[in-house]
Structure 1
Amino acid sequence: MKKILLVLLCFAFSSLAFAQNSNQKTYCNPVDIGYRYNFEQLNEKISYRSGADPVIINHKNEYYLFVTISGGYWHSKDLINWNYIKPSMWPMEDMCAPAALSVRDTLYLFQSTFEQRPILFSTEPEKGKLQFYNRWLPRLPQYIGPWDPALFYDEELDKWYMYWGSSNVYPIFGAELDKKRNLTYASTYKGLIYLDPKNHGWERFGRDHRDTIKPFTEGAWMTKHSGKYFLQYGAPGTEYNVYANGTYIGDNPLGPFTYAPYNPISYKPGGFLTGAGHGNTFQDNYGNYWNTGTPWIAVNWNFERRVAMFPTGFDTDNQMFANTRFGDFPHFLPTKKWTQKDELFTGWMLLSYKKPCTASSVKDTLVANKATDENPRSFWVSHTNKAGEWLTVDLQSVQEVKALQVNFTDYKSDIFDSNEESVFAQFKFYASNDNKNWQLIYDNSNEPKRDRPNAYVELPQAVKTRYIKYENIHVPMPNLAVSDIRIFGNGTGKVPQTPKNLNVKRQADTRNADITWEKSSNAVGYNILWGIASDKLYQTYQIWADAPSSLELRALTVGQKYFCAIEAFNENGVSVLSEVKEIK
């Protein structure tokens, strides 16, 4: 009888492994696409993938994703499965920070430029069919642009606009476009908003806003909501953990605009993925808003990035916010319009943080434990890139595993073409309770070949296991390098207690505040939540529990009142939120 049960169990695991999860309901940042090898800058013949400056457009109830220097774009019907499209025609050079816009049956596309370049259009973007809408826009004065452009159509006014800017000297610009003259400039461009780091703490440059370099603004985007115009921008610099999106608000498309007191609207300085700036805002088929951003990877080049998207909304006061709480943990894709900002979070916790690892082999000092440190800039490298190389994570107790993510690194890569016939990743995952007897739970070797630098796997059903093993089948890089294997699910223990003795104090420089708390004994990490009112704690700063129990928050606005609270989390769940305190 025991043998029969064992056979049935193995058959169940085998069926689970080879069945693609066509009913996938979740996603996990960074977005799981085949990021193209990108050469904004050559780096001693070392290649890297990147996905910067994302724009996602809902066009005829389907989605199109454009990023910098990708030779094409991606198409999705569900925001989960993305297919790469190489278009029939492309501009004179690959696109940097493109602008895209859907109006009725037409998708418009325009590249960043300091030269004369055309606006393209398509009524069949799913087929890659692009055509010239105009031959070029007139040249603007030197260094003015339009770089990092955004196109906007105001349906109520039946008018067209462009916004742009990427500089630590010039502002975000705007101009009306004339539809009757093929969307050339209808008005003189004008400066709309400037950075003000002396009053806006989050606009200061550097890691945690600690550098005195003059900050950069870029990534303009316009959203109209409840009669107000939200002109968004990225700051202070893409190569830091505090890269964020902010907004100014106006009553007219070209202003004047007023700084939103609750800025930044999208901010993610802590966790596995850091940085949430330079993206766009779009609505899905249920009317939910999303804000995209470009998190920082920086392994082979300082501007190596990925794509993230965060649930976004407008509250009853028309305050705009993006929810980055657990922003790199699995979230549900909505099937209706959501009403509570956290309802898309699955509650699947990170089970793998700094759990011990063993590997089939190790190259130099790039050891296995680097694969669970939640740092995309450290990584395990095996001795070869051959099939059969493996890495095992010990969860240290039996946990309920629901999803996995494997993040590859381009360690000393030499790939200069994202050829889909050779640039693809295939791998297996196994589960075990004794580290000896293994059951296959995932195998993508029977799926269509595709590149997956940040592959996310939602299991069709949860697996109770202590050990998870990754096994390589094929990687295109000369080295098998993995920055992080991230394992999500739920443990069987107790959630941590609410952190005690939360203390908050604003410094003499009121852009900064000191926050301290007493550690919870079984916490993996903490979320510090803050905002401009006790019921508007829309910002999150994640801290790991093995870091000091203190934070100097340097993202506040002079003259603005703030409130703060804290929660603890571990493999089993999240604590009750602490008492909310004013930052005085």
Structure 2
Amino acid sequence: MKKNISFFLFMVMAVSGYAQQKTYCNPINIDYGYCPIPDFVTQGKHRTTADPVIAYFKDKYYLFSTNQWGYWHSDNMLDWKFVSRKFLRPEHKVYDELCAPSLSYVNDTLLAIGSTHSKNFPIWMSTNPETDNWKELVHNFEAGAWDPQIFWDEDTDEVYLYYGSSNMYPLYGVKLNRKTFQPDGEVIPVMALNDHEHGWERFGENNDNTFLQPFLEGAFMTKHSGKYYLQYAAPGTEFSGYGNGVYVSEKPLGPFEYQQHNPFSYKPGGFAKGAGHGATYQDPKGNYWHIATMVISVKNNFERRLGIWPAGFDKDDVMYCNTAYGDYPTYLPAENKGHMGMNSFAGWMLLNYNKPVQVSSTLGAFKPNFAVDEDIKTYWSAKTSDKGEYIITDLGEKSTINAIQINYADQDAEVMGKAKALPGHKYIIYTSDDGKSWKKAIDKSKNEKDVPHDYIELEKPLSARYIKLENIAVPTGKFAISGLRVFGKGSGSKPGAVQNFIPLRTAPKIKGERRNVWFKWQQQPEADGYVIYFGKSPEKMYGSIMVYGKNEYYFNGLDRTEAYYFQIEAFNNNGIGPKSEIKKAE
């Protein structure tokens, strides 16, 4: 019977024009809960989560994040099933029931605990977390840790706790008793920020605000080749430059040294920015991935989403994370495409950046073009949530379409917390060559899933110029879109090489601000945007910045004392142009 059902589902998907996907697209498409804290929704109720961690445990990926009143699991890192649960005892009267959670396993048992400054939160354990099957491992955890991570060292069978979230204090580490899981030994400061040296650690949207000390948080430990990689987040979760760095040691409690190539997880440009406070994990084939927090911060500073990127260690054991084209279609682990360079990128380009838009209606200042401006912070909203409200995006030419991502915005949402019976997003997508005669391409008019960042990879590519998204129903609020993103290939040429690329930086012997660099280049006439690569070695330019519609960029994320190498490439709807000559800035 199961085989018959599976065959039926496959046929339904095939008729609809989409089948088993090989790619995903950030922000990841999970049923994010709505903010449960009244003080945080005074400017509008909205979805949010952050501080994620994924563990691959007993052939499944388990995803926990802040204040979701449950967690997700997946077989393939694409289709996530939510398990409803509050990790609280009756006496706990807090909104932050599972804020910045720790998720790890010891042998055949998964462990979870949220942040707390008190000493009466339990450590929960489960050998079968696929269902709501948890019990207390520790009744009252004496550490009282915020942003905790419990790390099991499989080689030594020892357990450690790392924690801390502050703009005043360092991160801490302490060994836990292997039997009681309570602190057992001296609490050791393991690292602190050094924003005087590391520009990317400075507070502010552009790492240039000095009115407040930067925040240090999100400890996470990964062991590789006998070394301990202590990851941390800075400078603040509300900023586009929110990223993760790493310190390395031969011992679990240090001393730790700053990895030369930092930040290792960083995404200050593109549609959805930010790649801070997250976790690193391995898939079944041993490849590393990194999940982290992405920024919206419109209705509240803590309005956020989640992203996943390929990660790993190079031949010199340098930890890296590949965020180049990091919110474009990316191959899933099952495809085994590799993580270095462009191997993980599907190669499908954005077809409708800043192209003409038509809509059924517009609510106030939420203008139509905000749906195609490649900025998740801006969005178009229709006047209603009625069936028949629509948005049409003109690709400018007949193009090959491989995938579509629909990013819904929260306009006049009425939900707080995790609504169990929230209806799904229902819509139909049509295509046209002339904007008059329409063909149905994707029919989700009966969809029951909550899909706020729905991503559809087509079984067979379509050819069209116009895409029409017609609303049937939304879970709550108005029909509003922060990004209707169409991916594939145009019919023209890729842009040429960027000319006159110049990184301007204060020389070592001249008094000035060496944590900053100003990039200038000649505008490439066929380009939609550019990707700048940077690093401290021409062979290790793991950092990247995506820039749309400009021919300059101010970057304030350098380390003060060391030389850097830079390179740039242009891209458009037809593909990616050649990289420029590598430039060095002492």
Given the two structures, how large is their TM-score scaled by the length of structure 2?
0.93
Shifted more, 419-428 versus 25-34: the winner is: 419-428
Find the aligned partners of 1:152 and 1:209 in 2 and give their Cα distance.
31
The AA in structure 1 aligned to 2:130 is E
SS of the aligned residue for 2:304 comes to coil
1:477-556 equivalences in 2 (<5 Å):
477-507=476-506, 508-544=512-548, 546-547=549-550, 549-556=551-558
Residue type matched to 1:399 in 2? S
Q: State the AA in 2 paired with 1:271.
A: G
1:568 aligns with 2:565: no
The correspondence for 1:113, drawn from 111, 116, 126, is 116
Kindly indicate whether the alpha-carbon contact (under 8 Å) linking 1:420 and 1:451 is maintained by their aligned counterparts in 2.
no
- 1:193 to partner: Cα distance: 0.5
Distance, in Å, in 1 between the alignment partners of 2:319 and 2:342 is: 15
Cα distance, 1:175–1:417 mapped onto 2, change above 3 Å: closer
Find the counterpart in structure 2 of residue 384 from structure 1: 384
- Paired with 2:114 and 2:501, the residues of 1 have a C-alpha distance of 48
Match of 1:37 in 2: 34
Query: 1:53 is paired with a residue of what secondary structure?
Result: coil
1:426–1:445 contact (8 Å) kept in structure 2:
yes
58, 74, 99: which one aligns with 1:96: 99
CA contact (8 A) 2:391 2:469 kept: yes
Contact 2:36 2:417 in 1 (8 A): no
Query: What's 1:432 paired with?
Result: 432
Measure how far apart 1:369 and its partner are: 1.4
Q: CA deviation at 1:339?
A: 6.0
Kindly indicate whether the alpha-carbon contact (under 8 Å) linking 1:89 and 1:129 is maintained by their aligned counterparts in 2: no
| Structure 2 match to 1:202 | 200
How far off its partner does 1:562 sit?
1.1
Could you tell me whether the CA contact under 8 Å between 1:300 and 1:411 is conserved in 2? no
Q: 2:8 matched to which residue of 1?
A: none
Q: Deviations over 1:329-363 (max 9, x none)?
A: 00011333726342110000011111110011112
The answer to whether residue 158 in structure 2 is matched with residue 159 in structure 1 is: yes
In the alignment, is the contact (CA less than 8 A) between 2:322 and 2:339 conserved in 1? Answer: no
Distance 2:356 2:86 in 1: 49
Cα deviation, 1:463-500, whole Å, max 9, x if unaligned, reads 11000000111102221111110111111111000101
Evaluate the alpha carbon distance shift between residue 424 and residue 222 of structure 1 in structure 2; reply closer, same or farther with a 3 A threshold.
Answer: same
Partner of 2:276: 277
Q: Which amino acid aligns with 2:381?
A: V
Say yes or no: does 1:65 pair with 2:63: yes
The 5 Å alignment of 1:384-403 reads 384-403=384-403
Matched, 1:410 2:407: no
Is the alpha carbon distance of 1:16 and 1:229 closer, same or farther for their aligned partners in structure 2, counting shifts above 3 Å? closer
Deviations 1:41-96 (A, max 9, x none): 43238311112111111011210110100000001000000010013864535210
Residue 419 of structure 1 deviates from its aligned partner by 2.6
Whole-Å separation in 2 of the counterparts to 1:542 and 1:260: 24
The superposition leaves residues 394-428 of structure 1 with CA deviations (integer Å, 9 ceiling, x where unpaired) of 01100111111111111122212533433421111
Aligned mates of 2:547, 2:416 — CA distance in 1: 37
For 1:416-457, what per-residue CA distance to the aligned partner results, in whole angstroms no more than 9, with x for missing partners?
A: 25334334211111110011111111122344x121111111
Quote how far apart the aligned CAs of 1:171 are.
0.6
1:119 corresponds to which letter in structure 2? Answer: I
The counterpart of 1:186, out of the listed 179, 184, 187, is: 184
> What is the CA–CA distance in structure 2 between the aligned matches of 1:368 and 1:552, rounded to whole Å?
29
Count of matched residue pairs: 562
- 1:131 alignment partner, one of 115, 132, 135: 135
Q: Is the Cα contact below 8 Å between 1:430 and 1:441 reproduced in 2?
A: yes
* Contact kept in structure 1, 2:405 and 2:484, CA below 8 Å: yes
Residues 177 and 15 from structure 1, CA distance in 2 versus in 1: closer, same or farther, beyond 3 angstroms?
closer
Residue pair 1:420, 1:450 contacting (<8 A) in 2 also: no
CA contact (8 A) 1:405 1:457 kept: yes
Q: CA deviation at 1:199?
A: 0.4
Distance 1:178 1:417 in 2: 36
- Which amino acid letter does the alignment assign opposite residue 197 of structure 1? D
Q: Distance in 1 between matches of 2:175 and 2:182?
A: 9
1:47 aligns with 2:51: no
Whether the aligned pair in 2 keeps the contact of 1:111 and 1:149 (CA below 8 Å) is: yes
Given that 1:99 and 1:150 are in contact with CA atoms closer than 8 Å, whether structure 2 keeps it comes out as: yes
Tell me the residue number matched to 1:7: none
Query: Which residue does 1:224 correspond to in 2?
Result: 223
Secondary structure (helix, strand or coil) at the match of 2:371 reads: helix
- Pairwise CA RMSD of aligned residues? 1.6
Amino acid aligned to 2:300: W
Deviation of the 1:245 alpha carbon? 0.2
SS at match of 2:392: strand
Q: Look up the match of 2:145.
A: 146
Identity of aligned residues (%): 40
Indicate the SS of the match to 1:127. coil
Deviation at 1:137, TM superposition (A): 1.5
Return the alpha-carbon distance in structure 2 between the equivalents of residues 415 and 158 of structure 1: 45
CA change 1:45–1:539 in 2 (3 A) is closer
1:186 to 1:22, Cα distance in 2 relative to 1, 3 A: farther
2:127 match: secondary structure: strand
Tell me how far apart the structure 2 counterparts of residues 136 and 168 of structure 1 sit (CA, whole Å): 27
Q: Is 1:261–1:560's contact at 8 Å kept on the other side of the alignment? A: no
Q: Report the Cα offset of residue 18 of structure 1.
A: 4.6
Q: What are the residue-to-residue correspondences of 1:281-320 with 2, within 5 Å?
A: 281-320=280-319
Task: For 1:268 and 1:225, locate their aligned partners in 2 and report how far apart those are by CA, in whole Å.
Answer: 24
Comparing 85-94 and 146-155, the one that deviates more: 85-94
What are structure 2's unaligned runs of at least 5 residues?
1-10, 507-511
Partner SS state of residue 415, structure 1:
coil
- Asked whether the 8 Å contact 2:274–2:294 carries over to 1, the reply is yes
Q: Deviations over 1:6-65 (max 9, x none)?
A: xxxxxxxx9878537341110000010000012244323831111211111101121011
Distance 1:204 1:538, change over 3 A: same
Question: Aligned AA for 1:95?
Answer: L
Instruction: Specify the SS of the correspondent of 2:130.
Output: helix
Structure 2 counterparts to residues 436-475 of structure 1, below 5 A: 436-447=436-447, 449-475=448-474
Structure 1 match to 2:74: 76
Deviates more, 1:313-322 or 1:90-99: 90-99
Q: Partner of 2:61: helix, strand, or coil?
A: strand
Q: Secondary structure at the match of 2:436?
A: coil
Among residues 20, 25, 36, which one is paired with 2:22 in the alignment? 25
CA distance, structure 1, for counterparts of residue 379 and residue 543 of structure 2: 29
Alpha-carbon spacing, 1:88–1:218, altered in 2? closer, same or farther (3 Å): closer
Aligned to 1:4: none
Q: Distance in 2 between matches of 1:17 and 1:283?
A: 31
CA distance in 2, matches of 1:198, 1:364: 44
Match of residue 329 from structure 1: 328
- Name the SS of the counterpart of 2:200 in structure 1: helix
Aligned-partner SS, 1:209: coil
Letter in 2 for 1:184: Q
In structure 2, the CA distance between the partners of 1:280 and 1:89, relative to structure 1 (3 Å rule), is closer
